Amino acid sequence: MLGYDDASELVNRFGGLCVMPGVRDAAPDAAGRPVPVEGGRGPVTHHNPRFHADDDTLVRGVRPHAHVAR
């Protein structure tokens, strides 16, 4: 049992994926790739007081996990 969150260890043991949707303010560029918004919230990990989760990304974030769980 791990005393911390180590996604790489869990994925190696059991398979899966680790994504962090909604943690950075971004806008699509001309090719449709997300580019950080100047002055926006940057990516920070969970358990950080500056962490921001955009609730609008929940559907997109849950979809790949549901697909892997099949």
pLDDT tens for each residue of 7-42: 788 888 888 777 766 667 888 899 988 888 888 877
Per the rule left: phi > 0, alpha: psi between -120 and 50, beta: everything else, 64 is alpha
4-21 in b/e form (b: 16+ CB < 10 A) is eeeeeeeeeeeeeeeeeb
- Residue 42's nearest CA partner among 56, 59, 25 is 25
Domain ranges, ordered by start, for the chain: 17-61
Q: Which two tokens mark 47?
A: 């358990």
pLDDT at 18: 72
pLDDT at 1: 52
Q: Is the pLDDT of residue 2 over 60?
A: no
- H or E element, residue 14: helix 7-14
